[in-house]
Amino acid sequence: MTTRLSLKQMQWELAPIAPVAHIDALAQGSHISPFMARLLYGRGFTTVSAIQHFLACRDPHHDPLLMHDMRAAAQRVITAIHEQEAIAVYGDFDADGITATSLICDAFRQLGANIAPYIPHRTAEGYGLNHEAMHRLAQSGVKLLVTVDCGISNVSEVALARELGMDVIITDHHAPPAELPVATAVVNPKLAQCPYPDKGLVGVGIAYKLIEAIGLLGMPLSNEQMTNLLDLVAFGTVADLGPLQGENRALVARGLHVLANSQRPGIRALIAVAGITPTALKADDIGFKLGPRINAAGRLEDAVPAYELLLTEDFLEAQAKAQHLNETNIERQHQTKLLQERVAAALTAQHNTPDAYDRIIVHADPDAHAGLVGLAAARIAEQFARPAIIIERGEPHSRGSARSGGMINMVEALRNCGAPFVKMGGHAAAAGFTIESDQIDTLRRLLNEYAATNDIQVGVRTLHIDCEVPHEAVSLDLVNELAQLEPCGHSNHSAVLLARNCRVISAQPMGSDNKHLRLKLDLAGRVMTAIVWGEGAHSHHFTRIPAVDIVFHPQRNEWNGRVEVQLILHDLRSARPRDAAPQAPLLTHE
């Protein structure tokens, strides 16, 4: 770390600031502090009504029948239940797919359906529908196939299912391709012809709306039964990085309460093994603790045990399965770290300077595990500040996972670059594909030509800051005030604050492997602990840096009966003298 540069080499950008009179009017009308009014204004909440709805999670509850094909889907399910047809729900091996599969099975069984789950094996079958599975399901007597969190790109597989005598209902939230499957119903709020106003629902959210629609057409669950499904909705939405805005935010807010008080033995066991206090459970706990444990099953092994955990009624079985998932997640963390280090070393060895890297990294590794390439791609994208694709090289086909790093619409880039994929789908932030192995170099060339043509900017990450705060304002009162932003997650992150000129008292590495950095900082005469994840190797630099500017979010830390503020740092840099001119890379709109 050199003087005047930020530790993580990021460009800091402060949110726009409204005129004081406007902030005061928002604060008075919304019954919040000017500080909170300024923060929310910077996030786009510029009216009293918008602020009140956001803070109360009073986003409109939309009629599920507004979704394209939802009426046809719900009516077909009702017919299948009345006639006791065999129904299969076909899910995905990630947390969204697993919770959506669990929700449909739970709800349909309560409605009296003859239903069975099908979750493909990541390594043996890959993502989405496949021909072999269609044959197996048809041979088992399935008459209605309902997909969750998948299916929107499976044109040939759906055609085969119909030839084999199955009706197919697709529920999915991935970006629709140009050609859609011909099915009994295709339910996806992202369809161009879909008038549903909230496009951000994930797979489990759409599954919940299907149950609502079935109820509206004459086969309802009770209010209590519907409420009890919301633990799965909250779990899957947060774990899948669903935007916590609009209807998602309202569903997650209600679902967190259900999750904390869940009567499902599997969820209770998972919360316990993750070391979470149920009464203090927040969305972050799903994202960083519960979700990874459920995802670990499908990443390294088979996702079915994760599904079984969520729906088991036996607490001893739940404890055993939760412990197994916990151990699997530890191994997943280890294997991901090794893969990231191997890829980073290979990229560094191939290029002499940062400018020599491609705008979009495409790296193939024959030893990569298919379940880990997405995680490694996300970490490589962050480390090298550019979109990244990691590919499990095989023969004759290879499977890849792409992460945008927030710099490109990844699924749009993959669709428009002209690469010859066997199969491809995803979102703006993440996508997956299968490609013939001899086309990997072509993919790399075409993607980087696309990035150059569209002038995709890479190499510098931007850190968006909500507000600057004076030292004396950093307190437990501030932590309590910021709790109004909950539930926090994707598209509604925890407050990101700036404090300048914080005196460094000490710096030392922490953690079993000294991976992390702990600082003691002086803020207005008070010593506060600040943590920087993953930066323990830089502790010795602070012996010559007297003061730092920090970008952080404050949190409540309780230890041995003592409650204090702890600062989680997103970035920091050496502070400029108080009388110096403004310093790059901080960009402000003040």
Q: How far apart are CA 427 and CA 412, in angstroms?
A: 8
Residue 321 lies in a domain: no
Tell how far CA 271 is from the center of its chain.
19
* pLDDT over 60 (residue 291): yes
Average pLDDT over residues 206-217: 98
Question: 449 and 472: one domain?
Answer: no
pLDDT band at 578 (very low <50, low <70, confident <90, very high): low
Residue 335 lies in a domain: no
Q: Give the closest residue to 381 by CA, choosing from 360, 364, 399.
A: 360
Question: 179 and 68: one domain?
Answer: yes
Residue 419 lies in a domain: yes
Angle 568-569-574 from CA coordinates, rounded to 5°: 150
Residue 303 lies in a domain: no
Residue 144 lies in a domain: yes
CATH number of the domain within which 451 lies: 3.10.310.30
Question: 96 and 175: one domain?
Answer: yes
Average pLDDT over residues 198-209: 97
Question: 402 and 362: one domain?
Answer: yes
The domain of 119 spans: 64-232
Number of domains in the chain: 3
> Which residues are registered as beta bridge partners of 526?
523
Question: 411 and 548: one domain?
Answer: no
Q: How far apart are CA 140 and CA 142, in angstroms?
A: 6
Average pLDDT over residues 452-475: 93
pLDDT band at 2 (very low <50, low <70, confident <90, very high): very low
pLDDT given at position 582 = 41
Question: 473 and 454: one domain?
Answer: no
pTM above 0.85, yes or no: yes
pLDDT digits (tens, 9 = 90+) for 342-353: 999 999 998 766
Question: 450 and 471: one domain?
Answer: no
Q: Which residues are CB-contacts of 576 (< 8 A; sequence separation ≥ 6)?
A: 4, 549, 583
Residue-wise burial string across 395-431, b where 16 or more C-beta atoms lie within 10 A, e elsewhere: eeebbbbbbbbebbbbbbbbbebebebebbbbbebbb
pLDDT averaged over the chain?
A: 93
pLDDT given at position 353 = 64
pLDDT digits (tens, 9 = 90+) for 136-154: 999 999 999 999 999 999 9
Q: Which residues are CB-contacts of 222 (< 8 A; sequence separation ≥ 6)?
A: none
pLDDT given at position 583 = 41
* pLDDT over 60 (residue 584): no
DSSP state of 95: H
Question: 432 and 510: one domain?
Answer: no
Q: Give the closest residue to 541 by CA, choosing from 506, 512, 568, 570.
A: 506
Question: 477 and 449: one domain?
Answer: no
* pLDDT over 90 (residue 541): no
pLDDT band at 560 (very low <50, low <70, confident <90, very high): confident
Place of tokens 């792409």: 402
Q: Is 101 helix (H, G, I), strand (E, B) or coil?
A: helix
Residue 280 lies in a domain: no
* pLDDT over 50 (residue 3): no
Domain boundary among 232, 265, 285: 232
pLDDT given at position 6 = 87
Q: Is 66 helix (H, G, I), strand (E, B) or coil?
A: helix
pLDDT digits (tens, 9 = 90+) for 25-64: 999 999 999 999 999 999 999 999 999 989 988 767 899 9
Average pLDDT over residues 186-213: 97
Domain boundary among 437, 460, 483: 460
Q: The tokens of 123 are what?
A: 């390594």
CATH number of the domain within which 117 lies: 3.90.1640.30
Q: How far apart are CA 293 and CA 322, in angstroms?
A: 8
Q: How far apart are CA 447 and CA 431, in angstroms?
A: 14
Domain boundary among 185, 217, 232: 232
pLDDT given at position 199 = 96
* pLDDT over 90 (residue 4): no
CATH number of the domain within which 498 lies: 2.40.50.460
Average pLDDT over residues 290-308: 95
pLDDT digits (tens, 9 = 90+) for 372-405: 999 999 999 999 999 999 999 999 999 999 999 9
pLDDT given at position 352 = 64
Question: 227 and 87: one domain?
Answer: yes
Residue 392 lies in a domain: yes
* pLDDT over 60 (residue 585): no
pLDDT band at 581 (very low <50, low <70, confident <90, very high): very low
Average pLDDT over residues 196-212: 97
Q: What is the number of H-type helices and E-type strands within the chain?
A: 20, 18
Residue 334 lies in a domain: no
Average pLDDT over residues 121-130: 91
Q: How far apart are CA 164 and CA 138, in angstroms?
A: 6
Question: 476 and 454: one domain?
Answer: no
pLDDT given at position 9 = 86
The sign of the CA dihedral 102, 104, 105, 109 is positive
Average pLDDT over residues 79-91: 98
Tell how far CA 576 is from the center of its chain.
36
* pLDDT over 90 (residue 218): yes
Question: 423 and 546: one domain?
Answer: no
pLDDT given at position 351 = 78
Q: For helices 155-163 and 131-139, give the axis angle rounded to 10 degrees.
A: 20
pLDDT band at 354 (very low <50, low <70, confident <90, very high): low
